[in-house]
Structures are given as structure tokens and as C-alpha cells.
């Protein structure tokens, strides 16, 4: 009211205030990424939530070549081809006291009879090496050592050369270090025999529960896991946490992305395990046969284009190429029949376009045979459901509904704050129509016909509503028929 009700002298008072006349219009759920992973074992850092701006600052804080640094390097690359302004937060893990770092080895015998330049890849990250004619094994290994040590973001550190061998040790401790690959296929030098032993013997991953507890009331929509996807204990912790985020008093669901470079048999042995069949929280981002670190594959998949698309056009499914990463060899790629089996067993898939892997099917582990509807299967569909939830919350968590008088539809209130069930129904009707217009749901007529809003029969301070929606589909399979005949002169 502009002028006090007790005023008597002639006056004109006009108040101006902001009002939201767009109640029920669709707002896209703002996406956020939480990274859960380790820093460099030789770096001192705390585990408080940390908001990321650049990969360089992550390297300085958590150590160059650490999982946290290498993951952010794919989310926020130097060329700005990443997640842009989407918030990225780090929930750092510390090594377990009894953890062991994985290690690999490069061995050389002989003496070079030519000068040769080549690249060695460790975890998909390259180091340029130049071997000179007459270099013996020790000299050649020293040059490889110096080349690796000269790349700050290498995921390993090197030992001193001894007995024709160079040991490479992961920069963090735990089982996930076993995922680091060594590629010496280009290292062919006349007179030298160069061999490798892949990273192994890393043991005891850190516990993710403390990191998950820090998320609290923040709606982190996607979690990037930097540990290995086949750690059953970690999968269970993510699943338990994620299920809790769907509880109706929490209302902040999330999805957990895991990188994977394994073939069909290896990865579906995990996704099809009994514990995972009903898992709608965890999902893989796949680049079959790639020698990149799996969590970098997952980070790039989120950046190109799962999270960015979810943020700007949540009705659309994902298809972008994993740029800046090497794909697996052509011979390791899976045909449609294998990809189809993988999806049915809860595993995402990729295809290869040129030299890059591309997202193909992005699905959660969820695949019970008893579910003929499958709304929890596709990551894209869950993002749509999250958007429906977000928009309903925008309506009823607003000040417009907090503590206001509640009367039945038959009432004709004078109080402008009073709400009736039909006011809620109006807002939900507008929302349904806008969700359909944005292709997040289909058949809004069904929603309007079956929506109910009422004051509770036992509690006059309680409003009950039901908002049934049909999540829209996406083009995944196209089937056409071409009929061919010949022209005959009549």
C-alpha cells in the first residue's frame, strides 16, 4: 500500500516494485560440475571445496600431472574450448595411508645406429625424444627420462636410470594409477630394442565419502570421478549418495561420470554386475581402445558436450567428438551389434569420426529387465527430469508461496497474499505448456487432464499436488524403407 491508511491530508502515493509475471515459464537448470579426485602425492594441499577458474591454478595448488590438474585441463583447456562459465568445483581426496603408487617401466638394450626423433606417450601425454647415433642404452634412457621430466603435466615421475631400465611412478597413490598407459609404438630406432612394462601394482583408492559430504546443499548436477570406474566400493558410495539426492526433502539429484577406455567385455562385466543393474546414478563416458587417462576422457565428454548441452538445451542428446584426445585404433572400435548389446547392459558407447572418438550412446548403468519404460536409462532423460523438478521448485519454493494464507477454491479472499489450489494449478498449467514447448516433455494435454491440486483432508496447512509428465524422446534409431523398381514402357 503506497500511503499509510491513517493519512488524511490530500496526497498521491505510488509504489513501484518488481514482480515476477513469468511464473510457470521454463527455466533451465543451471549445470555445475564437481570433480572428485587426488592431487599430486608430493604436494601439500587441503581438501576444502575449491572453485576452479583455470587449469594452471589447479596445477599450482594440487600439483602438476595430478588427476585434478589433468581433468581440469580437459574441462577448461587453454584454447577456451571447454565448459565456459559453467561452475567447476574441486572436492579433493588425499591418499590413503597404506596406499601404493602404480609404476611402469621402459627398458632398452643395444646401441643406436641412427639418429631418430620420436614421441613416447604416457597416459596419452606425449614427450618428444631425440636419440643420436651411437647412443647406448643408458644414454637413450636418460634422454627419455629428461623428455618425460620436461613435460610438467606428465602423470608420472621418473627414477634414475639403472641396469638398462627407467622406472615411471604415478604422481598419486592408489589403484587408479594402474590406468596410466605407456605407448612406445613410435620408438623404433635401429640398433636399440625398446620395451615397456605397463603401470601396475597401484593399490588402495581413497574414500570419496568425505568429499561427497562437503557437497551438502549445493546442487552439483554432474560429478566427475577421477578414480577407476571398476572400483565396486566407490561405485556403491556414489550410488548411495546419488539416491539420497533424489529424496523429496533434498531435491538436488546428480549424475556421476566415469571415464572408460575398455572393450565391451571388460566394461559390461562391471555395468551388468548385480549391484549396478538398478543404478541410475553412475554412467560411463567411453573411448574404446584409447590410451588416454579415462578421467580425461570423461572430462572431455562432459565439456564436449554433455554438461554444456544440458545447460543450454536440456532436451537434446549428446553427440560431440572428444577433441584434444587420441581415439583408439580403428581395429578396436565396436560395430553396431556390439554397441547395441552394450547399451542393453548399461554401458555407454562411442563411435569414431576421423581421428576422434565421438559420443554415441550415453546411458546410466540402469537396465533391469522388468522396466519396460526406461526413463532412468538415458542420461539425457534424467537431465530432463531434473529440469522438471527444478522448475516445480522455482514455483513452490518462492516467497510467493511461503507461509501465505491457504483457502479452498470456493473462497473469494480480499487478502492479496491468499493462495488457493487453483492458483497452484494455474502455475503448473503454464509450466506444463512451456516444458512441452521446450521439448522437455510431450503431451501436455495429458498432464493437464491428470494433474491434481488440493488442500489436505487432514491438515489445512498442507497443499498436495500431482504433476504427471511424459518425458520427450530423442531420435536414436531411424528406420526407413526404399522401394526400387524399373521403368517399363507401356
Q: What burial letters (b/e) apply to 107-126, b meaning 16+ CB within 10 Å?
A: bbebbbeeebebebbbbbbb
pLDDT at residue 26, rounded to an integer: 84
Q: Which residues pair with 38 in a beta bridge?
A: 93
Q: What are the φ and ψ backbone dihedral angles of 449, each rounded to 5 degrees? A: -70, -35
Mean pLDDT calculated for residue range 344-371: 96
C-beta separation of 192 from 129 below 8 A: no
Residues 361/288, Cβ–Cβ less than 8 Å: no
- The answer to whether 219 and 32 have CB atoms below 8 angstroms apart is yes
The answer to whether 221 touches 247, Cβ cutoff 8 Å, is no
Dihedral Cα 435, 439, 445, 451, nearest 10 deg: -40
How sure is the predictor about 13, in pLDDT bands with cuts at 50, 70 and 90?
A: low
Q: Given this model, what pLDDT does residue 198 score? A: 96
Mean pLDDT of 248-275: 97
Q: Over 60: is that where the pLDDT of 21 sits?
A: no
- Our measurement of the distance from residue 311's CA atom to the centroid of its chain's CA atoms, rounded to an integer in Å, reads 12
CATH 3.90.1160.10 residue ranges for the chain = 103-200
CA 239 – CA 256 distance, rounded (Å): 9
Instruction: Provide the pLDDT for residue 363.
Output: 98
CA count, 13 A, side-chain hemisphere, 30: 8
What integer pLDDT is reported at residue 2 of this predicted model?
57
What average pLDDT score do residues 287-314 get?
97
What's the whole-number mean pLDDT along residues 291-318?
Answer: 97
- The whole-number average pLDDT for the span 335-359 is 97
By the 8 A CB rule, do 320 and 305 touch?
A: yes
Most distant CA atoms of the chain, gap in Å = 107
State the pLDDT at residue 374.
84
- pLDDT confidence of residue 269: 98
pLDDT of residue 73: 97
> CB-based contacts of 46: which residues, under 8 Å, 6+ apart?
92
The string of pLDDT tens digits covering residues 80-93 is 999 999 999 999 99
Percent of the chain with pLDDT over 70: 96
Report d(CA 87, CA 74) in Å as an integer: 14
> What local confidence, expressed as pLDDT, does residue 3 receive?
66
Average per-residue pLDDT for the chain: 94
Per-residue b or e along 416-428, where b marks 16 or more CB atoms closer than 10 Å to that residue's CB: eeebbbebbbebb
- Please write the tens of the pLDDT for every residue from 373-408: 789 999 999 999 999 999 999 999 999 999 999 999
C-alpha to C-alpha distance for 102 and 169, rounded to whole angstroms: 6
Burial class, 360, CB count within 10 angstroms (exposed 0-12 / middle 13-18 / buried 19+): buried
For the stretch 132-157, pLDDT in tens is 999 999 999 999 999 999 999 999 99
Does pLDDT of 11 surpass 90?
no
Distance from C-alpha of 211 to C-alpha of 407, rounded to nearest angstrom? 45
* Whether residue 19 has pLDDT greater than 60: no
Query: Are 433 and 444 within 8 A, CB to CB?
Result: yes
pLDDT at 16 over 90: no
Torsion, Cα of 474, 467, 215, 270 (10° steps): -50
Q: Residue 325 — very low, low, confident or very high, per pLDDT cuts 50/70/90?
A: very high
Q: Per-residue pLDDT for 128 more than 70?
A: yes
Average pLDDT over residues 398-421: 95
Specify the CATH number of the domain 103-200. Answer: 3.90.1160.10
**Mean pLDDT across 306-311:** 98
The residue count of the chain comes to 490
Residue among 454, 430, 433 nearest 445 (CA): 433
Reduced 3-state DSSP string for the chain: CCCCCCCCCCCCCCCCCCCCCCCCCCCCCCCCEEEEEECCCCCCCCCCCEECCCHHHHHHHHCCCCHHHHHHHHHCCCCCCCCCCCCEEEEEECCCCCCECCEEEEEEEEECCCCEEEEEEECCEEEEEEECCCCEHHHHHHHHHHHHHCCCCCCEEECCCECCEEEEEECCCCHHHHHCCEECCCCCCCCEEEEEEEEECCECCCCCHHHHHHHCCCCCCEEEECCCCCCHHHHHHHHHHHHHHCCCCCCCCCEEEEEECCCHHHHHHHHCCHHHCCCCCEEEEECCCCCCCHHHHHHHHHHHHHHHHHHHCCCCCCCCECCCCCCCCHHHCCCHHHHHHHHHCCCCEEEEECCEEEEEECEECCCCCCCCCCCCCEHHHHHHHHHHHHHHHHHHCCCCCCCCCECCCCCCCCCCCCECHHHHHHHHHHHHHHHHHCCCEECHHHHHHHCEEEECCCCCCCEEEECCCEECCCCCCCCCCCCCCCCCCC
Q: Is the pLDDT of residue 362 over 90?
A: yes
Check pLDDT > 80 for residue 15: no
What's the sign of the alpha-carbon dihedral 275, 335, 319, 56? Answer: positive
* Residues 137, 145: Cα–Cα separation, whole Å: 12
Mean pLDDT within 244-273: 97
Model-level pTM?
0.93
On the question of pLDDT at 10 being above 80, the answer is no
Q: Is residue 24 very low, low, confident or very high in pLDDT (cuts 50, 70, 90)?
A: low
Amino acid at each position: 500500500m503506497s500511503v499509510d491508511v491513517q493519512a488524511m491530508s490530500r496526497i498521491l502515493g505510488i509504489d513501484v516494485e518488481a514482480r515476477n509475471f513469468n511464473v510457470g515459464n521454463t527455466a533451465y537448470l543451471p549445470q555445475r560440475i564437481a570433480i572428485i579426485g587426488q592431487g599430486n602425492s608430493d604436494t601439500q594441499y587441503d581438501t576444502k571445496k575449491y572453485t576452479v577458474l583455470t587449469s594452471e591454478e589447479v596445477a599450482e595448488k594440487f600439483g602438476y600431472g595430478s588427476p585434478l590438474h589433468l581433468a581440469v585441463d580437459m574441462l577448461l583447456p587453454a584454447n577456451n574450448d571447454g565448459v565456459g562459465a559453467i561452475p567447476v568445483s574441486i572436492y579433493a581426496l588425499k591418499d590413503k595411508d597404506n596406499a601404493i603408487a602404480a609404476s611402469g617401466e621402459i627398458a632398452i638394450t643395444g646401441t643406436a645406429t641412427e639418429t631418430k626423433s620420436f614421441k613416447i606417450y604416457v597416459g596419452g601425454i606425449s614427450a618428444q625424444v631425440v636419440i643420436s647415433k651411437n647412443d647406448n642404452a643408458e644414454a637413450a634412457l636418460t634422454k627419455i627420462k629428461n623428455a618425460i621430466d620436461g613435460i610438467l603435466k606428465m602423470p608420472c615421475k621418473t627414477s634414475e636410470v639403472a641396469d638398462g631400465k627407467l622406472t615411471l611412478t604415478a604422481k598419486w597413490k592408489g589403484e587408479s594409477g594402474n590406468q596410466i598407459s605407456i605407448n612406445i609404438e613410435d620408438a623404433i630406432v635401429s640398433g636399440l630394442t625398446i620395451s615397456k612394462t605397463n603401470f601396475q601394482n597401484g593399490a588402495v583408492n581413497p574414500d570419496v565419502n568425505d568429499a561427497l559430504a562437503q557437497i551438502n546443499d549445493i546442487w552439483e548436477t554432474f560429478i566427475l570421478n577421477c578414480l577407476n570406474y571398476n572400483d565396486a566400493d566407490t561405485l556403491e558410495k556414489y550410488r548411495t549418495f546419488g539416491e539420497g539426492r533424489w529424496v523429496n526433502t533434498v531435491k538436488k539429484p546428480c549424475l556421476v561420470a566415469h571415464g572408460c577406455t575398455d572393450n565391451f567385455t571388460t566394461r559390461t562385466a562391471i555395468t551388468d554386475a548385480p549391484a549396478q543393474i538398478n543404478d541410475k546414478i553412475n554412467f560411463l563416458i567411453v573411448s574404446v581402445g584409447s590410451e588416454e587417462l579415462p578421467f580425461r576422457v570423461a572430462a572431455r565428454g562432459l565439456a564436449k558436450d554433455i554438461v554444456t548441452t544440458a545447460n543450454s538445451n536440456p532436451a537434446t542428446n549428446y553427440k560431440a567428438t572428444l577433441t584434444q584426445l587420441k581415439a583408439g585404433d580403428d581395429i578396436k572400435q565396436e560395430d553396431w551389434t556390439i554397441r547395441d548389446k552394450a547399451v542393453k547392459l548399461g554401458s555407454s558407447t562411442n563411435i569414431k569420426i576421423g581421428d576422434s572418438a565421438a559420443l554415441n550412446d550415453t546411458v546410466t548403468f540402469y537396465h533391469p529387465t522388468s522396466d519396460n519404460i526406461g526413463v532412468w536409462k538415458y542420461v539425457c532423460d534424467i537431465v530432463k527430469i531434473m529440469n522438471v523438478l527444478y522448475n516445480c521448485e522455482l514455483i513452490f519454493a518462492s516467497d510467493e508461496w511461503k507461509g501465505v494464507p491457504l483457502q479452498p477454491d470456493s473462497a473469494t479472499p480480499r487478502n492479496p497474499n491468499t493462495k488457493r489450489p487453483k492458483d497452484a494449478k494455474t502455475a503448473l498449467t503454464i509450466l506444463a505448456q512451456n516444458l512441452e514447448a521446450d521439448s522437455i516433455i510431450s503431451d501436455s494435454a495429458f498432464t493437464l487432464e491428470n494433474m491434481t491440486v488440493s488442500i489436505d483432508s487432514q491438515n489445512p496447512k498442507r497443499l498436495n499436488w500431482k504433476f504427471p509428465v511424459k518425458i520427450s524422446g530423442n531420435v536414436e534409431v531411424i528406420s526407413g524403407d526404399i522401394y526400387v523398381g524399373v521403368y517399363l514402357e507401356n
